[in-house]
Amino acid sequence: MRHGIPWSAVALASAVAAMPAGGQSSTVQHLSAGDSIAVIMAGPAVVPHRAPGLLVRFYPYAPLTDTTRLGDLAVALWQQLMPRLDSEGIGWLVLQATDQAPGQQLTIFRAHNYGFVFERGADGVWRRANRPDFTLDMLAGSPTLAVPNLAGRWRITGLQTTELVYMSLAQQGGDLRGEIATHRDCRGKDVRVVIEFAGTVAAHVVDLWSTTGRIEGEFVNPCSNAELVRRLEFHGQIADDEKKIIGPVDLAGVRIDTWTLSR
C-alpha cells in the first residue's frame, strides 16, 4: 500500500519551522527550562509502506558528543510538538541534532547528525523506536543506546539496472563511510564508477550522502578521471533483524527512488 504525503504532515512541518516545509533557513525555538534550539529544517519523513511522519533537524547549541544533553533537548522538543502530532494523527517523529550552525553554508556536505526516533504504539504511548520498554519519560538523561553494527557489504536493489550493485560500509560509532563501485561502458571502453558516501546511524535510522564521485579507466579514455558532481541523499530505516535498510534516495533533485540495502 502506498501512502501519499498528507497535508497534515506538510502543514505541521511548516508550523514547526515557521517556513515552507523542507526549507533550509532556520528559526530559534524556545524550549522548557530556558533551553533553545535552532530549527534548521522540518518536513515530512517518508519511508515505503508507512504513513509519513515528521522530520525535524535542529542545531542544539551543544556538541553532538554530549548525547545526554541532546536527549534532554529531544524530549523537550517532543513535548512541544506532542499536541500537534496527536491532533494531526502523525504517528512517528525523527529529531536530528546537527552540527550545521544556523546560516552556515555547507561546502562539501560535512554536517553530522545525531538522531532520535519516536513512535506512537497501538496503545497510544510514545516510545523510542525498537525499544518497546523505553518510553519518552525514560529518555532524558539516559545512557546512549546501542548503535547497530552496519559494517560490511550490502546489496542495493531499486536501481534502474539489472546489474548487481553493492555498497561497502565502514563504521566508527555512529559515523558511517560508504562506497559504491560499478563498471560501465563509456565511449566503448570499460570504466569503473566510484561514489563515496558519508553518513550517520542512530537508533534504526540511517542517513547517507555522497561526498565524491569519479570515473576511473584507461588514461587514453576521455571519460577517465572525470568527477561526478550530482549529490545523492539516502534516508533509510533499519529492519528489526538489521539485515535490511529501506528508504528513499534523492538523486540530486532529479527524481526520488526507493533503495533496499540487504546483507
Residues 107 and 205 in one domain: no
Higher pLDDT, 31 or 156: 156
| Full DSSP string of 25-93 | --EEEE-GGG-EEEEEEEEEE--TTS--EEEEEEE-SS-TT-HHHHHHHHHHHHHHHHHHHHHHT--EE
> Does any domain span residue 146?
no
> Does any domain span residue 67?
yes
For 72-76, 199-203, 254-258, which range has the lowest pLDDT when averaged over its residues?
A: 199-203
pTM as predicted: 0.48
CA-to-CA distance for 105 and 119, rounded, in angstroms?
A: 32
Q: Is 84 left (phi over 0), alpha (psi -120 to 50) or beta?
A: alpha
CA-to-CA distance for 56 and 98, rounded, in angstroms?
A: 10
Residues 163 and 87 in one domain: no
Q: What is the pLDDT of residues 58-73, one digit of tens each?
A: 998 888 888 778 878 8
Q: Residue 244 pLDDT more than 90? A: yes
Domain residue limits at 224 = 152-262
Q: What is the pLDDT of residues 135-171, one digit of tens each?
A: 555 544 444 445 789 999 999 998 877 788 999 999 9
Q: Is 103 left (phi over 0), alpha (psi -120 to 50) or beta?
A: left
What does the block give as the cell for 233? 541523499
CATH number of the domain within which 221 lies: 2.40.128
* Confidence band for 178, pLDDT divided at 50, 70 and 90: very high
Residues 130 and 199 in one domain: no
Most confident of 36-40, 99-103, 194-198: 194-198
Q: Which of 105, 138, 171 is the endpoint of a domain?
A: 138
CA-to-CA distance for 210 and 109, rounded, in angstroms?
A: 8
* Confidence band for 256, pLDDT divided at 50, 70 and 90: confident
Q: Which of 107, 138, 169 is the endpoint of a domain?
A: 138
Q: Identify the pLDDT of residue 167.
A: 96
Q: Identify the pLDDT of residue 150.
A: 94
| Full DSSP string of 172-198 | ETTEEEEEEEEEEEETTEEEEEEEEEE
Radius of gyration of the chain (CA): 19
